[in-house]
Chain A
């Protein structure tokens, strides 16, 4: 894509975020805003997978592990610290460190793609079982009981840094989530434009070549994986704040599968795609829930199969291709004539 459309896209995203922060609260009621908040939070989670899968080529089936770790870390930390500031930092840091350790063994062990998916999924299911079996007063970290399958209720939500008595209201929470999403989006765009990001994309294209050029592919993959873990942890932290509640289902299979469906529907290999896919699927699931009668999981399954068969590249890349064809109707980029090939 040309630089012009790149810039136009960046500006459009910024304007949309700004409009969401300033205008949207005037137009919709509080309940809708609450629901939109969780869409935005999940979009951050979708971005984390969109980044490592779409650009790093690392299909992580267990992105929910970092999401859940972020949520639990925040809950435990804020209950012990009393102030949310340090808790937020820990909720980013601990999933990142966990991703670093897990990634070290996978990438230095040269685990191939399929096994990487299996391992990450297994890790998140192990966490699910681990946290699920911590019911009872014996299991507590400091003053925070882990609560097992009951989860942790009444988590103190975000406050103004250093002033625990000044808690954010739902509107401020919504605005904070939108700003965070925008910052994560721009941060990842910036990262992808750097040498680090370009090497990461090159690894997706041809790992062997990257190594023959003198870059240590393992380090770059680990770096991308850690960034993905940190972003997912941040999303988990916001999620724990949204409902002031966290339970082990956050580590479950359904959660992991959902993230992948968001990215597939929106489009692998773009950053805007996962956000679009996430909003769309969540809206669909919640409408189905309100409508009743139809099983949401069944519909999700149908949607996934339909997309894999009919729109395999996802909404955003397909839309872009259609636009490009309209702008330049005679040039088919995918079928240029070969000149003097063997």
Chain B
């Protein structure tokens, strides 16, 4: 065993960031093991997306530390962190709209591969995501759901050790949600994942351990069943959804 495997894949200690007095994330101690699949839930504004931006170097923390395999990434550039094996699918699909589906995935596959292997890896990813039929279409012409697949393709084509998914099921049909869950399980065979999601049935489909964020802090971290049964979680999160649902029904 090499020395780096003694470290957690991701470890944050006392991680925090202030935006002019607003503590978007504070005192987060979070660890993720190699190959783990973790769901992160929490109400809007709980700091989930900010947490992702801290992990990918898009924001620099004002407190604490983030380490990937024991190596601090604070102060590193976004592209350097990506090369440590961190891939992210953002909430709003972040793709190259003016390029074809294949060109999108190719750019990612070609990063660490010579041209021939890159072409093979690219075709393989398109196959896995069932995008072969639209490979020559411009990404900007595709539906929202398909653009999400393309972004997933971009992310996995570099074979990252860690994949961050910010609301992968948002705006998808039931059928697409199920496909996404299946896909996440398959990605998990090669990579560790952190999935931010609101959709409870979806979380039940994929999650083992769930971390709950509230007001920039970790509220609790446990198995999916215990989290969903927890009183506090219901209050801050499910309660809101329930209230909203009741309000909708009343209206």
Give the interface of A toward B (CB within 8 A).
195, 198-199, 201-202, 204-206, 208-217, 333-334, 336, 338-342
Interface string of B210-232 (1 = CB under 8 A from A): 00000000000000000000000
The docked-state distance in angstroms from the alpha carbon of A30 to that of B127 is: 60
The one of B56, B82, B99, B172 in contact with A205, judged by C-beta atoms closer than 8 angstroms, is B99
User: Which residues of chain B are near A213, meaning CB under 8 Å?
Assistant: 79, 82, 87, 107-108, 111, 154, 158
The one of A206, A214, A217, A338 in contact with B83, judged by C-beta atoms closer than 8 angstroms, is A214
The one of A202, A205, A212, A334 in contact with B78, judged by C-beta atoms closer than 8 angstroms, is A212
The one of A199, A204, A333, A336 in contact with B107, judged by C-beta atoms closer than 8 angstroms, is A199
The docked-state distance in angstroms from the alpha carbon of A213 to that of B159 is: 11
Which residue of B has the minimal Cβ distance to A334? B141
Q: Are B77 and A216 in contact, CB atoms less than 8 angstroms apart?
A: yes
User: Which residues of chain A are near B94, meaning CB under 8 Å?
Assistant: 206, 208-209, 212
User: Which residues of chain B are near A208, meaning CB under 8 Å?
Assistant: 58, 78, 94
Interface string of B79-113 (1 = CB under 8 A from A): 10011000110100011111100010011101100
Which residue of A has the minimal Cβ distance to B157? A213
Which residue of A has the minimal Cβ distance to B136? A2
* 27 A-B pairs with C-beta separation under 8 A: A195-B110, A198-B106, A198-B107, A198-B110, A201-B96, A201-B98, A202-B99, A204-B98, A206-B96, A209-B95, A209-B154, A211-B79, A212-B56, A212-B90, A213-B108, A214-B79, A214-B82, A216-B77, A217-B79, A339-B145, A339-B146, A341-B144, A341-B145, A341-B171, A342-B144, A342-B170, A342-B171
Which residue of A has the minimal Cβ distance to B88? A212
Give the interface of B toward A (CB within 8 A).
56, 58, 77-79, 82-83, 87-88, 90, 94-99, 103, 106-108, 110-111, 115, 138, 141, 143-146, 154, 158, 170-173, 176
Known: A211-B77, A212-B88. A338 touches B143 (CB 8 A): yes
Q: Are B98 and A205 in contact, CB atoms less than 8 angstroms apart?
A: yes
The docked-state distance in angstroms from the alpha carbon of A336 to that of B158 is: 30
Q: Are B170 and A211 in contact, CB atoms less than 8 angstroms apart?
A: no
B166 to chain A minimum Cβ distance, whole angstroms, is 12
The docked-state distance in angstroms from the alpha carbon of A340 to that of B144 is: 8
The one of A199, A336, A341 in contact with B141, judged by C-beta atoms closer than 8 angstroms, is A336
User: Which residues of chain A are near B145, meaning CB under 8 Å?
Assistant: 339-341
The docked-state distance in angstroms from the alpha carbon of A334 to that of B140 is: 9
B232 to chain A minimum Cβ distance, whole angstroms, is 30
B12 to chain A minimum Cβ distance, whole angstroms, is 19
Q: Are B144 and A214 in contact, CB atoms less than 8 angstroms apart?
A: no
User: Which residues of chain B are near A215, meaning CB under 8 Å?
Assistant: 79, 111
A330 to chain B minimum Cβ distance, whole angstroms, is 15
6 closest A-B pairs (Cβ-Cβ)? A342-B171, A214-B82, A205-B96, A341-B144, A211-B78, A339-B143
User: Which residues of chain A are near B95, meaning CB under 8 Å?
Assistant: 206, 209
Which residue of A has the minimal Cβ distance to B175? A340
Which residue of B has the minimal Cβ distance to A204? B98
Residue from A210, A214, A336, A341 whose CB has the most chain B CB atoms within 10 Å: A214
Q: Are A214 and B77 in contact, CB atoms less than 8 angstroms apart?
A: no
The one of B108, B111, B143 in contact with A340, judged by C-beta atoms closer than 8 angstroms, is B143
Q: Are B170 and A216 in contact, CB atoms less than 8 angstroms apart?
A: no
B79 to chain A minimum Cβ distance, whole angstroms, is 5
User: Which residues of chain B are near A214, meaning CB under 8 Å?
Assistant: 79, 82-83, 111, 158
Given A199-B107, A201-B98, A213-B82, output 18 extra A-B contacts at Cβ < 8 Å: A195-B110, A195-B115, A198-B106, A202-B96, A202-B107, A205-B99, A206-B94, A206-B97, A210-B79, A212-B88, A212-B90, A213-B79, A213-B87, A214-B111, A336-B141, A339-B145, A340-B145, A342-B170
